[in-house]
Amino acid sequence: MEILPFLLGISVFFFFAAIAFFFWSVNNGQYDDLESPAHKILFDDDDELIPDDIKSTVANDQKNTVKSNSKTSPEER
């Protein structure tokens, strides 16, 4: 029973800390735009992250693959 006041004090502290964090997040605009982050994942902007030398290598490989596949006739496949 000696621990009860300690646990009660800690729970009250966490309660007020949670309320303070909630009001902080509301005041800083964390809940202003809830839909844009869900749509941002659909945009393809990974090209900025790929180095130019790798882009050219991949593009050349893809062109060579398309050319080699287009030379064969459907009967040969």
Q: DSSP assignment of 18-44, as one string? A: HHHHHHHHHHTTTTS-SSHHHHHTTS-
The count of structural domains within the chain is 1
Q: Report whether pLDDT(69) > 80.
A: no
Determine, yes or no, domain membership for 74: no
Determine, yes or no, domain membership for 76: no
Tokens in use for 38?
């869900």
Determine, yes or no, domain membership for 51: yes
Determine, yes or no, domain membership for 10: yes
CA neighbours within 13 Å on the CB side: how many for 69? 6
Position with higher pLDDT, 46 vs 9? 9
Q: CA torsion angle for 45, 46, 48, 53 (degrees, to 10)? A: -150
Position 42 scores a pLDDT of 77
Determine, yes or no, domain membership for 28: yes
Q: What's the pTM?
A: 0.46
In this predicted model, what pLDDT tens digit does every residue of 15-57 receive, in sequence order?
Answer: 999 999 999 999 998 888 888 877 777 776 666 666 766 667 7
Domain that holds residue 63: 4-69
Determine, yes or no, domain membership for 27: yes
